[in-house]
Structure 1
Amino acid sequence: MQAILDSDIDPQDIISSSRHPKISSIIWGRLRDINLKTDDLELIRENDDKPTWDVNVGLSDEFNKNLASDLMLYIRCQPVAAMVPPKELCGIIVNSYYNRLAASKLTEEDRWTNTTSNRRGNRKTALNKRRKRTYTKHKDAVTEKFNRDYNGVFYRDAMSGDETETDTSVVASRPDWRSDEIMFYIKWFFCCLIPDLARDDLGKRAMQLKLQSHVLVHETIPRGLVTKMPTWSKRI
């Protein structure tokens, strides 16, 4: 570990937390949470007792090298890291330092923006998962109506964009790269089928459902969806 930190870090050796999320979670659990928000004194004391990166010095500083070595020893004892090469573990640890360094340079406005963006992204991911589960549950009914398998269109980046919400309605932006067929299906599935099914499931709580509508906006299809989305779902 120390040999890698003593040399120049190759950007290719830095491993994104998304590649090994469980290991990254272990690392952040061992480090002090600089954004901890709680009134629980015990949790505050536990958090204060944890180490954290010294972002006022480089990664090759003695303190940070020792912390990195301690993290490596701890992670290699975890079952989830059993099949991960040591070099990748180093890359994940190095990534946590640079993430902490970047966070230290954020203004309060930046932090608020990031928090808002993360919440919106998490909400979108959760919503897409719920919609896919609903589709899977009622796939026979959808196939019978449209004679088409829509399983390959449930990607988070393919969802509608920003939403404007009131007490009774939701208006979402709909990218115009979608074909007429997929737009018709989405309108029927999410504006007709799901509300009807939800009313059956929710009973009296169905009154909480909001009217949904969409506004067409010009957007280029995200690069990652060009080959993933079926041809019939995209406007040529």
Structure 2
Amino acid sequence: MKLVEQRLATIQQQINEACEKAKRNPEDITLIAVTKSVSSKRAQALVDIGVEDLGENRLEGLLEKQKNIQNPVNWHFIGNLQTRKVKELIHTIHCLHSVDRMSLAKEVNKRAEQPMDCFVQVNVSGEESKSGIEPEEVEAFIEQLAAFENIHVIGLMTMAPNTDDECAIRNVFSSLRELRDKIAAKQLSYAPCTKLSIGMSNDFTIAIEEGATHIRIGTALVGSESEEDE
């Protein structure tokens, strides 16, 4: 078995175990392979073994891989997006995980030709190094999006602190889940907000236990370019 296949099998097993612990269905988890740090060839290897969702955080990396990977792929943009780059990006992706300000939402609405699935990014941890809307401002922000016919808020996204403190990580994820549930209860047609984009290589099992529907796995799945070809 190739190394990339071993990694995928390991992660799928971890997903299954976390779902069993949380009494959830593994089929409700979308695994996004974050390929920002590897080549198109490495990304293609993932697609070849059945990975259907790829995530990029830079426009240039996204466009390069889209040019080189011919298979049907669900493309996710997960990084900070400059407003001026929306027009180049919006027609090439399936989902935008990083709506974090009104100016960006306005530009997405202007450039999209049909409703774009989006996650609103929330800075739950309060770290200055992280992008996102303050938790207490999220409800008002989403209410303002009612005027934008091409914005479809499917859920909320955040990143946990880079720490070994499981309790701190779990608190961030559970806080976002509670906020998601509060918005979902409003039953807004343009913002069903039923999804949670949380969890990365070091904390995705915790995220699943706390309700993740989309997990963003980089190094643990894609490896690094310094490795030998498999």
Above 0.5 in TM-score? no
Question: What TM-score do you get using the length of structure 2 for normalisation?
Answer: 0.23
Larger CA Rg, structure 1 vs 2: 1
Greater RCO (CA < 8 Å, at least 6 residues apart): 2
Higher strand share: 2
Higher helix share: 1
Question: What TM-score do you get using the length of structure 1 for normalisation?
Answer: 0.23
